[in-house]
Structure 1
Amino acid sequence: MENESQPLVRVYLSVTGDFDPLNFSELVGLRADRTARRGERDGARVVPRCDSWDLEMAERRTWDMEGVVDDLLARLAGHEAQINAVTRAHDLGVVLRIVAYWNPAESSAPAVTLSVQQIACLARLGAFLDVDLYAS
């Protein structure tokens, strides 16, 4: 199947630090897809070392990393200033994470490119970019 040789991609925005994720949702006007509280075990998950608030896209097989990032940033549209203000006021970390898994026996490593508009949006958010590529 052609789709199977495409990398499995996960893109999410993560806010971390010492804060109440539910309160953060209220302050920025967005509901998180996933939250964690420092020291509280969530099932089989490792005990979190900090509080976190994540907005994520569903995993998908694609070569179009830029398109998946566009989909996530569209969910943030209109909330960039609030996210930046709250994260700066509370000294929180913000990172856009792009994670891709691919089979090197079936294809080459995926390329990750971001548009000028996407980079500008990350700057407005005060966000770092983290890209993890895993051969499986």
Structure 2
Amino acid sequence: MRSARLVIASPSLSVDEISSLMGCEPDAYRRKGEVRQGARIPIPAADSTWELRESVDGGTAIECALDALMNRIFPLENELHRLSQTDCVLKLCLVQWISKENEVGPGFSLGLEGIAFLAKIGAFLDVDQYVE
């Protein structure tokens, strides 16, 4: 599994408030104080989190998920920039599981337009790669 996610976290704004400011609903969310389903240790969330997600299988390049997500978030530039001026933390998260069976190897690239976009909205990049 390979995924690209835009995550917005806020200690003060609710999921509903973030949705209102974004002008769209998230693909996934967790309300402040909720415990993650299936958590081994039931720790309430310190922040509300709001996410847009794109996923592909292990045989598909993670760039396909990244490109699909970037196409969804480019039109939301103004909304994301406004949120970055609050106590919200914005991050682009890439998760890549890698195994010998994958036809597509590890790695990805993010072009100048994508890097400039992340800088403009005040987002940072979080990359996790796991070997199976």
Please give the TM-score of this superposition, normalised by the length of structure 2.
0.84
Q: Say if 2:82 is the partner of 1:85.
A: yes
Where structure 1 has 5 or more consecutive residues not aligned to the other structure, the ranges are 1-7
Where structure 2 has 5 or more consecutive residues not aligned to the other structure, the ranges are none
Secondary structure of the 1:13 match is: strand
Distance 1:67 1:118 in 2: 14
Deviation at 1:42, TM superposition (A): 4.6
**Contact 1:10–1:59 (CA<8 Å) still a contact in 2?**
yes
Match of 1:61 in 2: 58
Deviation at 1:14, TM superposition (A): 0.3
Distance 2:127 2:105 in 1: 13
Secondary structure of the 1:57 match is: strand
Which of 48-57 and 34-43 deviates more?
34-43
Structure 1 stretches of at least 4 aligned residues deviating more than 2 Å after TM superposition: 41-47, 58-67, 105-109
**Residues 1:86 and 1:116: Cα distance change in structure 2 (over 3 Å):** same
Distance 1:123 1:26 in 2: 23
**Contact 1:10–1:99 (CA<8 Å) still a contact in 2?**
yes
Match of 1:127 in 2: 123
Match of 1:96 in 2: 92
1:95 partner amino acid: K
Deviation at 1:102, TM superposition (A): 1.2
Secondary structure of the 2:33 match is: coil
**Contact 1:63–1:110 (CA<8 Å) still a contact in 2?**
no
Deviation at 1:9, TM superposition (A): 0.7
Match of 1:31 in 2: 25
Match of 1:9 in 2: 2
Please give the TM-score of this superposition, normalised by the length of structure 1.
0.81
Match of 1:40 in 2: 34
